[in-house]
Structure 1
Amino acid sequence: MADRPLIGVSTYLETARWRVWELEAALLPVGYPRLVQAAGGVAAMLPPDDPAYAAGAVARLDGLVIAGGPDVDPSRYGAERDPRCGPEARARDSWELALIEAALASGTPLLGICRGMQLLNVALGGTLVQDIDGHVEAVAVFGRHVVKPVPGSVCAGLVGAEAVSVPTYHHQAVDRLGAGLVPGAYAEDGTVEAVELPGPGWALGVQWHPEMGVDLSVMAGLVAASS
């Protein structure tokens, strides 16, 4: 059997409880590795580290996923902090931005999910809306809403050209697009729900959470590009 592509997935650093333990842990919701595995890849966790090591880490990977998580520090895109913006995650911001920059520089296929899409936009000089309504059903509850792929986009090539219902949980969104990025899908209220970077590489961001659904198409696109 041919080797499966190795897909790195960024993670949280949080205090967690399991069995008799309560310790700081590198955390990743199991939906991410399961989605990678179901799409034909092998998942490797990438907890926050020194950004100087990011290029070396990416060089060992076939593909990269920047996972969902906390709000991006507004100082990263030159904005004042809105009171509705969540707590900082400076170590994760620094590490994941370095991973994104390394992936773009090396042509390593890259998928950003929710926060990961937002960070891709910020890495390329874009900005974010710090709080929007209508994209969180309830605290700690994934909802669903409809997105419409842009005809001819990479996103449309993966999920289809018709409107599709996706799992969602976000209160921030792309505002000004980063250099070179183009929209791949929109929500019904006009929110950008996917971004992609045209060119010889493969870089896609989706605002929704494919790891919380059964549709493999987005992750399968990354795994195919990484093979």
Structure 2
Amino acid sequence: MASNASDRPPVIGVTTYLEHSTFGIWEAEAAVLHRVYVDSVCAAGGNAVLLPPIGDWRADTVDWLDGLVLAGGADIDPRRYGQEPHPTTGTPQPTRDAAEFALLDAAIRLDLPLLAVCRGMQVLNIARGGTLHQHTPEVVGNTDHQPEVARFGKTELSIRPASTLATILGSSAQTHCHHHQSIDRLGAGLTVAATAPDGTIEAVELPAATFVLGVQSHPEQDPADVRLFAALVQAACRRRQRS
């Protein structure tokens, strides 16, 4: 017997990136993603579907999704927000940039619940006309947000009362972080939901949407705390029940 759609776990798309990879007997370019994203979605009650940065991503090609995660990763091409590259800015990845900006546009058009993680929050901000600090240590005078290669730092969040984030995490939280870029000019329609002690914007929301939350941190790195992913999954369930 077929199950009722409302009984099935919501389908949450998660973006991936192209990297030269080694797996099994092969060494080749692959669409990859840290497994902890998938684990976090599943622990929160959703089914994760990996979305490669290749494809025709529009509202009418992703309307089968119930929610979306824009994953973290490489620096966005600064020309997308009208700047020349800083010496520390990574090599542009135009294929991934194009795919994720298209997916974000589709999600906004469909009012898909969205959790934008680290780079994902920056994609959200740029898409709304905002800009980035290309090298945050020059702004805040420390490297606390990216202490060293392949090691996460810790950031204490001060969360704005009455924000969606506050209903999920409370007035403060400690999070994992690994980024050298951050929001400078805030994009249109976005509101700041949390900041770090040094003033770095750590979370944004889009109040005009049902559920759009961007976090500069990496919540997937704490398997014991999937509250942000659970909030996304719950919003996806509510959306499906309305449709």
TM-score exceeds 0.5: yes
Correspondent of 1:145 among 137, 150, 155: 155
Correspondent of 1:160 among 148, 161, 170: 170
| Number of residues of Structure 1 aligned to a counterpart in Structure 2 | 225
Correspondent of 1:78 among 79, 82, 102: 82
TM-score (norm 1): 0.96
2:213 paired with 1:204: yes
Correspondence list, 1:11-160, <5 A:
11-50=16-55, 52-133=56-137, 134=143, 135-160=145-170
Unaligned 5+ segments in structure 2 are 138-142, 238-243
CA distance in 1, matches of 2:183, 2:192: 10
Greater Cα shift, 175-184 or 15-24? 15-24
CA distance in 2, matches of 1:147, 1:37: 25
CA contact (8 A) 1:143 1:168 kept: yes
Greater Cα shift, 140-149 or 70-79? 140-149
CA distance in 2, matches of 1:159, 1:31: 20
Residue identity matched to 1:210? P
- Could you say what secondary structure the match of 2:157 adopts? strand
CA contact (8 A) 2:17 2:32 kept: yes
In structure 2, do the counterparts of structure 1 residues 145 and 79 end up closer, same or farther at CA, with 3 Å as the change threshold?
A: same
Q: Which residue of 1 aligns with 2:8?
A: 3
CA distance in 2, matches of 1:121, 1:53: 19
CA distance in 2, matches of 1:58, 1:122: 21
2:176 paired with 1:172: no
CA distance in 2, matches of 1:126, 1:190: 17
State, as a whole percentage, how many aligned pairs show the same letter. 48
CA contact (8 A) 1:58 1:108 kept: no
Structure number, greater radius of gyration: 2
CA RMSD of aligned residues (A): 1.1
CA distance in 2, matches of 1:128, 1:118: 7
Unaligned 5+ segments in structure 1 are none
Q: Which residue of 1 aligns with 2:241?
A: none
Deviation at 1:200, TM superposition (A): 4.4
CA contact (8 A) 2:202 2:215 kept: yes
Correspondent of 1:184 among 193, 198, 206: 193
CA distance in 2, matches of 1:193, 1:114: 9
Q: Which residue of 1 aligns with 2:203?
A: 194
Deviation at 1:58, TM superposition (A): 2.4
CA distance in 2, matches of 1:80, 1:65: 28
2:227 paired with 1:222: no
